[in-house]
């Protein structure tokens, strides 16, 4: 009997210790009430309460009586409450008591909309197979190699008259190996925006497109996509969260091919939704630690051709938030960096709940 009581006491102490260890930690000075301001992002708001944005789902207290409780609008109030010893946020919707003209408000976005819009409104990663099916620029009637604003170009598809199309050029190529029963390689290409145009005429197997503006001169074989969706048709609000513990990725590269990437730049990682990546996943970025060779008393950093003996700990260098997963790759925004981020940088699930 005594032994059973002791086991129960110890179990209770262990459970208490575990609960204490799991308690969500707020940053010092976290407000009891926060009123959402125009221009806030979910990232901004989480920083008022948490050091690590991927812990947001643990803090957010959904309100079942509110339609779309995950959407937060300017003027809403977030109240810090405690539930079973854990901090939670409760949402109090802004209510207009006096009759006013109806104002359509947009919910706050996860990150700055300017960072996400170009990649959510339009496909910017394409497999070679998808690319082959897109309309292509045939050229210009005078056989000019370079076309610009005001010119009429011909396209190898019948497009709806009056429709708006954007013109892109395949740019960077990213590759990864798959091991899903049979080893194979998959590729995606980035698309660089070149120009925009409107269809002014169609005939058999061809359309004429007037270029309305351009960033670069249009060339033969550039590809076309329909004009992007307007922002009100896009989901720009999704919660930050931690990816599965076993999900490890690497930074494949930058859209324009630069080798040193800074905060708020957009990159591609080599994992996609078939690997379990979803919008809002936050990965921590690490640079490989140094390799050391030699015998005791004669250690030195590895030089080209020498045999590695020790690999030192990885160095944390930043964070990335996923905004759009594709099948085997994903687009993310660098939200924090302590040094320029290079292709090949490790993207790993957060290691701590601090």
pLDDT, tens digit, 9 for 90 and up, residues 161-182: 999 999 999 999 999 998 766 6
**Of all helices (H) and strands (E), which one includes residue 35?**
strand 33-35
Mean pLDDT of 60-74: 66
pLDDT at 9 over 60: no
Q: What angle do CA 88, 91, 92 make, to 5 degrees?
A: 140
Q: What angle do CA 294, 298, 300 make, to 5 degrees?
A: 60
pLDDT at 100 over 60: no
10 Å CB burial of residue 78 (0-12, 13-18, 19+) is buried
Q: Measure the CA–CA gap between 153 and 299, rounded to whole angstroms.
A: 65
CATH of segment(s) 122-228: 2.40.10
Most confident of 179-188, 204-213, 288-297, 301-310: 204-213
In this structure, what DSSP letter does residue 106 have? P
pLDDT at 51 over 80: yes
**Of all helices (H) and strands (E), which one includes residue 163?**
none
pLDDT at 14 over 50: no
The 10s digit of each residue's pLDDT in 131-143 is: 999 999 999 999 9
pLDDT at 19 over 60: no
Q: Measure the CA–CA gap between 78 and 33, rounded to whole angstroms.
A: 6
Domain extents in the chain: 22-94+102-117, 122-228, 249-348
If DSSP codes are grouped into helix, strand and coil, which group holds residue 113? helix
* pLDDT at residue 294, rounded to an integer: 84
* pLDDT at residue 4, rounded to an integer: 43
Share of the chain above pLDDT 90, in %: 52
* pLDDT at residue 198, rounded to an integer: 97
CATH of segment(s) 249-348: 2.40.10
Buried b (16+ CB within 10 A) or exposed e, 91-104: beeeeeeeeeeeee
- Tokens describing residue 246: 């076993």
* pLDDT at residue 168, rounded to an integer: 95
Q: Measure the CA–CA gap between 69 and 93, rounded to whole angstroms.
A: 10
pLDDT at 12 over 60: no
If DSSP codes are grouped into helix, strand and coil, which group holds residue 212? strand
Same fold, 122-228 and 249-348: yes
Neighbours of 158 (CB within 10 A): 14
Strand order of the β-sheet with 300-301 is 300-301, 291-293, 310-311
């Amino acid at each position: 009997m005594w032994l059973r009581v002791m086991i129960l006491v110890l179990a209770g102490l262990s459970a208490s210790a575990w609960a204490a260890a799991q308690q969500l930690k707020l940053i010092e000075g976290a407000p009891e009430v926060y009123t959402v301001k125009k221009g806030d992002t979910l990232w901004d708001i989480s920083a008022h309460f948490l050091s690590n944005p991927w812990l947001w789902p643990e803090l957010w207290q959904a309100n079942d009586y509110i339609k779309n409780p995950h959407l937060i609008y300017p003027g809403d109030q977030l109240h810090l409450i405690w539930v079973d010893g854990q901090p939670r946020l409760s949402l109090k919707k802004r209510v207009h008591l006096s009759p006013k003209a109806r104002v359509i408000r947009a919910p706050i976005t996860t990150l700055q909309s300017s960072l996400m819009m170009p990649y959510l409104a339009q496909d910017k990663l394409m497999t070679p197979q998808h690319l082959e099916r897109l309309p292509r620029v045939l050229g210009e009637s005078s056989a000019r190699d370079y076309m610009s604003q005001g010119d009429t170009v011909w396209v190898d598809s019948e497009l709806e008259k009056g429709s708006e199309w954007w013109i892109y050029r395949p740019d960077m190529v990213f590759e990864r190996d798959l091991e899903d029963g049979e080893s194979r390689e998959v590729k995606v290409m980035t698309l660089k925006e070149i120009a925009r145009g409107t269809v002014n005429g169609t005939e058999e197997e061809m359309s004429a497109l007037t270029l309305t503006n351009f960033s670069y001169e249009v060339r033969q074989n550039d590809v076309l996509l329909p004009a992007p969706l307007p922002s009100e048709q896009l989901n720009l609000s999704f919660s930050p969260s931690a990816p599965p513990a076993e999900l490890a990725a690497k930074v494949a590269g930058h859209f324009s091919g630069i080798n040193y990437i800074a905060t708020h730049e957009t990159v591609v990682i080599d994992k996609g939704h078939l690997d379990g990546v979803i919008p809002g996943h936050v990965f921590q970025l690490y640079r490989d630690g140094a390799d050391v060779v030699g015998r005791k008393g004669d250690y030195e950093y590895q030089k080209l051709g020498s045999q590695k003996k020790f690999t030192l700990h990885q160095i944390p260098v930043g964070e990335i938030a996923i905004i759009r997963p594709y099948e085997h790759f994903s687009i993310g925004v660098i939200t924090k960096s302590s040094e320029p981020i290079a292709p090949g940088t490790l993207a790993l699930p957060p290691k701590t709940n601090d």
